[in-house]
Structure 1
């Protein structure tokens, strides 16, 4: 089967999602109002609350939620065959992620830009909100520590990505100054920024940076991890307009250039009869390697970002909602942000399903569950681009590796910013005040301690990562429960939130229970992961029960007053 057929079908499904279904959600379910005064205008502080052009905000939102997960998940899950991965990516993006991301953005900006954890206190209750914050903090800790290790691995294994990865920070700051201080037009600034970034990629391909085994008294892995945590802490404190927004915006444009190259390679390569454009992976793999877990429920937690992800709700409510210029921009930022992730996941499937040329080569890579990942994407995508558009394999690998590094870095420092918010919100729940500098130091210290807990090579960063998939998806279902409660209180159709909520909660809870038995296996027990998994399971059950009770109360309560009255009520509560 040709990759071109799969690409066309996938693009058609995504087009339907944005052009048709997202309009229904925006106009009939959420009823976005252009006249609504968003938190970015009402609470504008020039640091976190900043009215932002929707294209720039889309870039920030998309690259913050994307990270390496839309690459890693599909590149691992294809071990069950390309069809299950393809169906979950396309259907999950259109009917699950779109509603989740857009809904979380809407819910937050209708409540002064509060995070989803803070909203849980308002709509579910304080008891549930404490547990909600525990789940959110653990999830963010997993993201920050694991992505520090993933980025470090890419910088070491693909040294050609070092210069463009760090050079992109300088480009972003200059772009931010050009747009917000010099007031230059967006289009020429965008063109110059993207061209400069790709020039850095060419330079990086020719001048790879390889650190010696002993650099400043430590190994290269420890050095990069320390640098990443220092950078992440500083970036989380800077005004969003100076680094976060412009860097993510340029990265978002860079992604679409990269996807255009990848999709263009599929089109041209098919016309040229390139081997890499023929899907060699099985449609449904009936000969999975020994030890591979069942596709149900693992598919639904292995592919998170690119289908649906609870982390998106944290970003939507934690940073993006504070920057919406107009409420109607939420459709483009939130829903199309989810579509952007779907496009990246679809590109990953195309790269790893056909990029290895033969079934034997594919089977060699996918010799066990957990194999593949970013490395398979870079290798398969590099082969595809070399055969399809003639881009040298080394340069293709640099383009894809840089894309992965930049996405993972944006997710890591956004995660640290969100962890800072969680620490401050948790402190305020106990009538304590923690300033942003103390909160950031605490976040950096906890993240670095976890990452180095098992040695200077950073293996501790992956220590609790096995819990990410289930925790992330359980959080997505809990976020959908808040959206559903709001819709019920407003007497609007809650089914677009309730249906994905039911599927995601059942699959992720099932996976969490399976993991608990695995961690308790007497032949290979893992006490830390078992305890954390039990905490997450109990917290999720508790919050789910509280949410169900809140839904029943919302059904029998009088219809909620119009949003302006609700907004005033929220202001009074805050005071």
Structure 2
């Protein structure tokens, strides 16, 4: 089969879904463009800062994309390309897109607060506390997993490391020029993107070669600083500029595919049980961000909702951002499917899923004149830039959730643990300690925890919609399916880590499993109409 058909058909399907299903969701939930958003009503110049839709999409997309939609589909390719493609399309449209759009919109209607706060408003304080612990533990896994991905990429492609450092300096200058000196966004974008690619050139000229341990330490310092500084200084401008890297990468890959039109070599379906892994539930856990990701709900309700300029942008950023990520996931599975099984094994052994993806896009870009080595280096740099974005966003979210957990609205003087520097330090230290365990051990647990987080986010939004008298039927199947999938997957992981004597990675799944079951039961009482004390909330 020609791989060109995969990308063309998927883009058409996603486009139709955005125009039709996305619009239907907005109508059902009552999106109101005339209503002021928290970015305006609570503007504090640090976390609550209005951002134009393209800028916020850049931040949101850069934060949710990371390396997840690349690593997941490629790893899931062991089951064949058809199951992966079907799940990306169906999951993205009816599961991930609904969750991302819904969590962003629900947070905007709750003063830009997190999913945990939404749970408190609709299920009570006990539910919030349980979810906060669950989400924070999951974010520790995110920090550990993406620290490994970034450190490994910087070691294998030192050009990406030096370019990333230059990116940060450029982002600070860009943010200062746009937000403090009134430089028009259009002018700043042209200059910024030109300098962005200049950073890539300089990065290739002056690679920064350090060992993995050193990079992990540097990254820990970086994410601490990125988590406590105002969003306009680094987060918004860097993510916005970095988004152009990903757009260029996707566009380059698609143009290359149109010119190259490689045939699919990977088997369409290889079986329900491969190397001791079962298609159900592992396919749905492994693909993760390429179809649905609980981390997206934390981003939408953690940073993006605090920067949304207009409610009408929720569909564009939440639903649209997820579908763009699905396109990236389709490109990722093609990079694994167009090579032979032996070649795929070699590429995975040499540098993991990111190496498979970088090699494939490098080959595709070479078809319109970009040297293979330059193309591969550019892709590795782009992936590392987005993994770095996910990393520092996860740290900021961890800080938010940690602070919220210990906040007491009845007291004027808050616990020292609500201090942003203290909460960030604790999150960074524990996340960094887990990072030492290595990517291979952490990713399966992260994938399961992440998907279970998605199930809980879907449940939380459904409860809010029910309490406000709005249609929540679009959540029924996704939340039930994801809950079953992840409970089964966590059971397999607990057993596997017990056998391997990875006891830390046994404790994490057990804690997450217990918390999730209790939360699901609390939600069931509300959705089933059996809780007479359900809070009455405003739409």
Q: TM-score, normalised by structure 1?
A: 0.88
Aligned to 1:542: 518
Alignment of structure 1 residues 348-427 onto 2, 5 Å: 348-354=332-338, 356=339, 358-362=340-344, 364-365=346-347, 372-386=352-366, 388-427=367-406
Aligned to 1:53: 52
CA distance in 1, matches of 2:279, 2:511: 25
CA distance in 2, matches of 1:509, 1:320: 29
Contact 2:348 2:355 in 1 (8 A): no
RMSD of aligned residue pairs (Cα, Å):
2.2
In the alignment, is residue 483 of structure 1 matched against residue 461 of structure 2? Answer: yes
CA distance in 2, matches of 1:109, 1:365: 43
In the alignment, is residue 81 of structure 1 matched against residue 61 of structure 2? Answer: no
CA distance in 2, matches of 1:416, 1:165: 18
What stretches of structure 1 of length at least 5 have no aligned partner? 212-219, 271-276, 452-457, 564-575
Contact 1:79 1:288 in 2 (8 A): no
Alignment of structure 1 residues 133-532 onto 2, 5 Å: 133-211=132-210, 220-270=211-261, 277-286=262-271, 291-354=275-338, 356=339, 358-362=340-344, 364-365=346-347, 372-386=352-366, 388-428=367-407, 432-433=414-415, 434-451=418-435, 458-459=436-437, 464-521=442-499, 524-532=500-508
Q: TM-score, normalised by structure 2?
A: 0.94
CA distance in 2, matches of 1:101, 1:89: 15
CA distance in 1, matches of 2:370, 2:101: 37
Contact 1:489 1:560 in 2 (8 A): yes
CA distance in 2, matches of 1:286, 1:314: 34
Q: CA deviation at 1:317?
A: 0.7
* SS of 2:200 mapped into structure 1: helix
CA distance in 1, matches of 2:531, 2:472: 11
Bigger shift: 317-326 or 122-131? 122-131
Aligned to 2:67: 68
In the alignment, is residue 3 of structure 1 matched against residue 6 of structure 2? Answer: no
CA distance in 2, matches of 1:391, 1:485: 51
Aligned to 1:572: none
Contact 1:489 1:557 in 2 (8 A): no
CA distance in 2, matches of 1:162, 1:530: 34
CA distance in 2, matches of 1:349, 1:285: 15
For residues 407-462 of structure 1, the C-alpha deviation after alignment (integer angstroms, 9 at most, x for no partner) is: 011111111111111111111159643221222222222223333xxxxxx34576
CA distance in 2, matches of 1:326, 1:167: 32
CA distance in 1, matches of 2:521, 2:155: 46
Q: CA deviation at 1:491?
A: 2.2
Q: CA deviation at 1:365?
A: 4.7
Q: 1:380 to 1:35 in 2, by over 3 A?
A: same
Q: 1:226 to 1:365 in 2, by over 3 A?
A: closer
Contact 2:52 2:309 in 1 (8 A): yes
* SS of 2:291 mapped into structure 1: coil
CA distance in 2, matches of 1:364, 1:157: 16
Q: CA deviation at 1:490?
A: 2.3
Contact 2:144 2:442 in 1 (8 A): no
CA distance in 2, matches of 1:391, 1:383: 9
Aligned to 1:13: 13
For residues 120-174 of structure 1, the C-alpha deviation after alignment (integer angstroms, 9 at most, x for no partner) is: 2222222222221111111110111221111111011012212221111112112
For residues 45-72 of structure 1, the C-alpha deviation after alignment (integer angstroms, 9 at most, x for no partner) is: 0000111111101111111111111111
CA distance in 2, matches of 1:502, 1:263: 35
CA distance in 2, matches of 1:75, 1:31: 38
Contact 1:2 1:278 in 2 (8 A): yes
| Paired residue total | 534
* SS of 1:389 mapped into structure 2: coil
* SS of 1:553 mapped into structure 2: coil
